[in-house]
């Protein structure tokens, strides 16, 4: 076992992981040491060596809080090296940490424990900010046309996703829309000519307020504001595809998710940020429920830029089809290709 040597704060890069209402986790990494802190308390100490990362718990954390600290430690190593695919946990790692890692899906076994990037990114410990249990239990609901879909859980208020995007170098977050608070911004964005062309919602404030209120009462669709480093950048709607207007146009599965999106703030337009919000939104939808195998979209066929961006992020164009109000392209993004080819 590598001798335990406590990491200091001097000259150590800091990686920060938000935890909703709880204090953020801060991970400081030096050449051979790693420290995870929450507020004033260090809760994990790690040593990096030939055998991998050897981790000891500090401060008495147990269960999910300890798993979050270990996830943050691994995420910091991945964020610092985008080509790194895995972190081995060395023989000096405590049995308690190994058992916690196994129980929370961070490792597949404890004999040769390894945290893989693609596995960590699918575990809702760090970036998924909604505190409700995942997944929601199966309870059937019947549609008027005879179809059956699962009962959908309510979306939490406030921030539901928060992640530093290492490819962009900025923090991408999504928060729940509040109709009264966000109406002026929503109204301004919907009345931009470039937005109105695709969304067809260039209406007055009263009409748009009623639109948001209807969404707040709709269990299948949720409105979100997307932010870069905390600055509002765009408006997004996420939905369960089976009971959406899109559902009858393809073989919709019970846990397929979909989205609509726009960037309203002009300073956040462009390829890099479009790729970042599409990565982040898709990541959030896969974190929402492990039973979601694919995320779908139905942009207008003449939205050439969005179709091109989506294609680069593992969205495949399945077909073109006609809604009553527009001709659309059906896009599918499957879980495995997304985490294999896109997420870093």
pLDDT in tens, 219-251: 899 999 999 999 999 999 999 999 999 999 999
1 has pLDDT over 50: no
What residues make up the domain containing 275?
140-342
Point out which residues pair with 21 in neighbouring strands: none
pLDDT in tens, 91-130: 999 999 999 999 999 999 988 999 999 999 999 999 998 7
Confidence of residue 12 (pLDDT cuts 50, 70, 90): low
| For residue 135, cis peptide bond before it (omega within 30 degrees of 0) | yes
Q: Within this chain, do residues 42 and 72 fall inside the same structural domain, yes or no?
A: yes
The alpha-carbon radius of gyration of the chain (Å, integer) is 21
Q: Which has the closest alpha carbon to 322: 248, 262, 233, 260?
A: 248
Residue pair 309/296 in contact (Cβ under 8 Å)? The answer is no
pLDDT in tens, 249-279: 999 999 999 999 999 999 999 999 999 999 9
Q: Which has the closest alpha carbon to 297: 280, 277, 317, 279?
A: 317
Q: How much is the pLDDT for 313?
A: 95
Q: Compute the C-alpha angle 321/322/328, nearest 5°.
A: 65
Query: CA–CA separation, 326 vs 344, rounded Å?
Result: 35
For the residues 133-138, what does the mean pLDDT come to?
A: 78
Residue 246: CATH number of its domain: 3.40.630.30
59 has pLDDT over 90: no
Q: Which two tokens stand for residue 322?
A: 């006609």
User: Order of strands, edge to edge, in the sheet holding 221-228?
Assistant: 159-165, 170-176, 221-228, 231-240, 257-263, 294-297, 327-334, 315-322
Q: Is residue 201 in some structural domain?
A: yes
Confidence of residue 13 (pLDDT cuts 50, 70, 90): low
Q: Is residue 7 in some structural domain?
A: no
9 has pLDDT over 60: no
Least confident span in 47-56, 160-169, 175-184, 278-287? 47-56
178 has pLDDT over 50: yes
Query: CA–CA separation, 149 vs 47, rounded Å?
Result: 48
Q: Within this chain, do residues 82 and 147 fall inside the same structural domain, yes or no?
A: no
The three-state (H, E, C) secondary structure of 157-180, written as one string: CCEEEEEEECCCCEEEEEEECCHH
Report phi then psi at 92, rounded to 5: -80, -5
21 has pLDDT over 90: no
Q: Is residue 132 in some structural domain?
A: no
For CA atoms 91, 97, 102, 105, the dihedral sign is: negative
Which of 120, 153, 184 is the C-terminal boundary of a domain? 120
Q: Within this chain, do residues 275 and 182 fall inside the same structural domain, yes or no?
A: yes
Residue pair 51/87 in contact (Cβ under 8 Å)? The answer is no
Query: Which residues does the annotation mark as catalytic?
Result: 298
Confidence of residue 3 (pLDDT cuts 50, 70, 90): very low
pLDDT in tens, 148-172: 889 898 888 899 999 999 999 999 9
8 has pLDDT over 70: no
Question: What DSSP state is assigned to residue 136?
Answer: P
Q: How much is the pLDDT for 140?
A: 87
Q: Within this chain, do residues 278 and 172 fall inside the same structural domain, yes or no?
A: yes
Residue 303, burial from CB neighbour count under 10 angstroms (0-12, 13-18, 19+): middle
Give the count of domains, the chain. Answer: 2
Neighbours of 277 (CB within 10 A): 25
Q: How much is the pLDDT for 325?
A: 85
């Amino acid at each position: 076992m590598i001798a335990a040597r406590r990491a200091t704060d001097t000259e150590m890069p800091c990686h920060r992981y938000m935890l909703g209402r709880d204090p953020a986790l801060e991970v400081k990494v030096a050449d051979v040491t790693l420290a995870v802190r929450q507020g004033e308390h260090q809760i994990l100490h790690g040593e990096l060596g030939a055998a991998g990362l050897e981790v000891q718990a500090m401060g008495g954390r147990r269960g999910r809080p300890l798993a979050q600290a270990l996830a943050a430690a691994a995420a910091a190593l991945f964020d610092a090296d985008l080509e790194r695919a895995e972190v081995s946990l060395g023989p000096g790692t405590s049995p308690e940490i190994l058992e916690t890692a196994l129980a929370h899906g961070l490792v597949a076994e404890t004999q040769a424990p390894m945290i893989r990037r693609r596995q960590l990114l699918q575990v809702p410990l760090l970036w998924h900010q909604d505190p409700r249990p995942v997944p929601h239990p199966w309870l059937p609901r019947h549609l008027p046309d005879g179809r059956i879909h699962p009962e959908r859980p309510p979306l939490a208020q406030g921030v539901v996703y928060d992640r530093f995007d290492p490819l962009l170098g900025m923090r991408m977050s999504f928060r729940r829309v509040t109709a009264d608070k966000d109406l002026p911004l929503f109204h301004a964005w919907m009345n931009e000519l470039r937005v109105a062309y695709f969304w067809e919602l260039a209406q007055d404030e009263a009409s748009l307020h009623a639109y948001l209120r209807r969404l707040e009462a709709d269990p299948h669709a949720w409105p979100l504001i997307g932010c870069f480093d905390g600055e509002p950048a765009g408006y997004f709607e996420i939905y369960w595809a089976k009971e959406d207007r899109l559902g009858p146009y393809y073989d919709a599965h019970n846990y397929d998710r979909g989205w609509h999106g726009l960037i309203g703030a002009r300073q956040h337009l462009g390829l890099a940020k479009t790729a970042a919000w599409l990565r982040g939104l898709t990541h959030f939808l896969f974190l929402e429920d492990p039973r979601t195998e694919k995320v779908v979209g139905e942009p207008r066929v003449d939205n050439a830029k969005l179709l091109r961006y989506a294609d680069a992020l593992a969205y495949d164009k399945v077909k073109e089809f006609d809604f009553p109000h527009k001709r659309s392209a059906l896009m599918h993004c499957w879980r495995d290709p997304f985490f294999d080819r896109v997420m870093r």
